Structure 1
């Protein structure tokens, strides 16, 4: 096992690592290896190969970085990517409103646009009824920029303003920037969803904002958590019984049911059929989506499944 950077205190190597991290916003072990190898090669006066860099080396650099970041209310945290299970590391502000933090790098209109994107993802048509997509198509994401900003006044009235309205070109540019900076991910089919960095940074804010009570006092949980790992789930599967709160990441399902020794929902005991989705597949497996693709000249995939929206 390599020992680059371990037990040496905060050195120039640690400073170089932190600067490299801050310039990238997000790292994985694979993307960190070239950085650590280059730093260690310079520091030790010999070439360090990528395969010599271990997760222990990365954890050591992160631990030292966090000691320096803590007084600034910043911390490098990690989570598993919901689809690849690769561990992702990102810088997280531990105290202030995450949207307020964006004010240092984004304009007022851009911040409002981000808030409208989140509203559309978690409080829009793609996350209502039996559909739990929590993502937006490229067209929908751009159209969000054209919608007027709705605000509720103190007396309960709703007003509209042009704040946060972006033209198609500006909205597309903003979306590309959010992807480049690690806030959003764009899928092969063109859907935008929150990245691991965003889910770590916005976790508390998302729950506080979208898990509330409706007019009848009924609790609404738009932000749901995986029954196995207890992290936010925006990609995975749900219990066939929609009112059942059980949700599972795809990367958690196999081990979970192996340990449980049954293929039934752990909450309501219904059979878990694996055909009720959370995330993009809640849209792309629907009959309406497949019909639209056929009409536009796209050939359906061989494993197209039937519409599960009304099941």
Structure 2
């Protein structure tokens, strides 16, 4: 006989198959699951007053032993509430391990790094720049293989690709890897909305350079429409003036200008040493050899002294030159007489 537990399992399976759903679809799926159960068991009693948040809390209690969780996030542009069933570890290796190889996960993490460390908080990367991130990956990826993996990241909901061909982080990545992004890029690319305190990769920020106020598009719209005059929640600059509205600075792909991806790319601190070593090696190969080298000590100097012949002194050189100038004479035999 069908029970309430069967409804819960059917609902979780429907969420798992979709990964991320809107608030509207979240409610619709729950209603369809209840209707399907009642069709089999008309006498089944189901709580019809349960809200979406209450339903999510009840599901999470069942998912906790499995290290799974239903979380919510708001779409950064539209503000639509999204629900997703995620792995509680929050690590890219665990999240992507079931669908991607080790090299493909390394490729994804390299792309995420370049998106998070983009110039002027553009939080996006061009197609060519994304493909370049596959070059250091071992085993080596061909260009067609890298393009295929990039398309897979998009279709799986990890990345977004705009009409300009730029990649950015999708809501699934922000939801499932939010903890990883915060721990990895905190104070170095990771920013939060001043209003909702959620991660921000597209929105707007105050034009006052020392000010740290940043808002999602929908947070800014809601913030500005609730009052006739409004000011920056941080520095108190007047945002309501028409002239000041135009001074707001975009965050996200709108901030990406032509040539941004050709600029020197930033790297995290743990990879800067590797980059410096590569630069030093290249520089050393291009640098011409010096005529005189610095004096060496210890075994290195002793080894060189044994390998190299000593240079003749000035007296030895002049004597050697004189010997070379004189004609060669036959060797004389000394005869010893007996007395």
What is the TM-score of this pair, normalised by structure 1? Answer: 0.69
Give the Cα separation in 1 of the matches to 2:88 and 2:144: 34
User: Do residues 175 (structure 1) and 150 (structure 2) align?
Assistant: yes
- CA-CA distance at 1:28 after TM superposition: 1.4
| Paired residue secondary structure (2:204) | strand
The 5 Å alignment of 1:218-233 reads 220-233=187-200
Kindly indicate whether the alpha-carbon contact (under 8 Å) linking 1:206 and 1:223 is maintained by their aligned counterparts in 2: yes
- Is residue 203 of structure 1 aligned with residue 178 of structure 2? yes
- Give 1:165 deviation, angstroms: 4.6
Q: CA 1:55–1:133 in 2, change beyond 3 Å: closer, same or farther?
A: farther
Kept in 2, the 8 Å contact 1:9–1:64? The answer is no
**2:78/2:217 contact within 8 Å kept:** no
Secondary structure in structure 2 of the residue aligned to 1:241: coil
Count the aligned residue pairs.
Answer: 245
Contact 2:111–2:130 (8 Å) recurs in 1: yes
Q: Residues 96 and 238 of structure 1: is their aligned pair in 2 closer, same or farther, counting only changes over 3 Å?
A: closer
- Any residues of structure 2 matched to 1:157-176 within 5 Å, and which? 162-163=137-138, 165-176=140-151
Matches within 5 A, 1:189-200: 189-200=164-175
Q: Is the 8 A contact 1:113 1:165 kept in 2?
A: no
For the residue of structure 2 that corresponds to 1:182, the secondary structure is: coil
Which consecutive residues of structure 2, in runs of 5 or more, have no partner in the other structure?
Answer: 41-47, 240-244, 260-339
**Which one has the bigger helix percentage?**
2
Match of 1:155 in 2: none
Q: 1:143 aligns with which of 92, 110, 132?
A: 132
Asked if the contact 2:90/2:180 (under 8 Å) is kept, the reply is: no
Say if 1:264 and 1:221 are closer, same or farther in 2 by CA, change over 3 A: farther
Q: Write the distance in 1 (CA, Å) between the matches of 2:159 and 2:83.
A: 15
> Is 1:278 matched up with 2:251?
yes
Residue of structure 2 in register with 1:12 after alignment: 6
* 1:240–1:270 CA contact under 8 A, matched in 2: no
Partner of 2:98: 104
DSSP-derived class of the 1:120 partner: helix
**Counterpart residue number, 2:114:** 120
SS in 1 for 2:255: helix
Equivalent residue for 2:72? 78
Compared CA separation, residues 82 and 175, structure 1 to 2 (3 A): same
- In 1, the alpha carbon distance for the partners of 2:147 and 2:51 equals 38
Match of 2:59 among 55, 59, 65: 65
Distance 1:256 1:55 in 2: 31
Q: Structure 1 residue 145: deviation in Å?
A: 1.8
Partner deviation per Cα, 1:93-125 (whole Å, 9 max, x = no partner): 3345343442233211011001101111112xx
The RMSD of aligned alpha carbons is 2.8
Q: Deviations over 1:25-83 (max 9, x none)?
A: 1111343455445423322229xxxxxxx995655553443222111221100011111
Distance (whole Å) between structure 2 residues aligned to residue 144 and residue 245 of structure 1: 30
TM-score (norm 2): 0.64
Equivalent of residue 22 in structure 1, options 16, 20, 28: 16
Q: CA deviation at 1:267?
A: 1.8
Q: 1:10 to 1:113 in 2, by over 3 A?
A: farther
Would you say the 8 A contact 1:111–1:164 is kept in 2? no
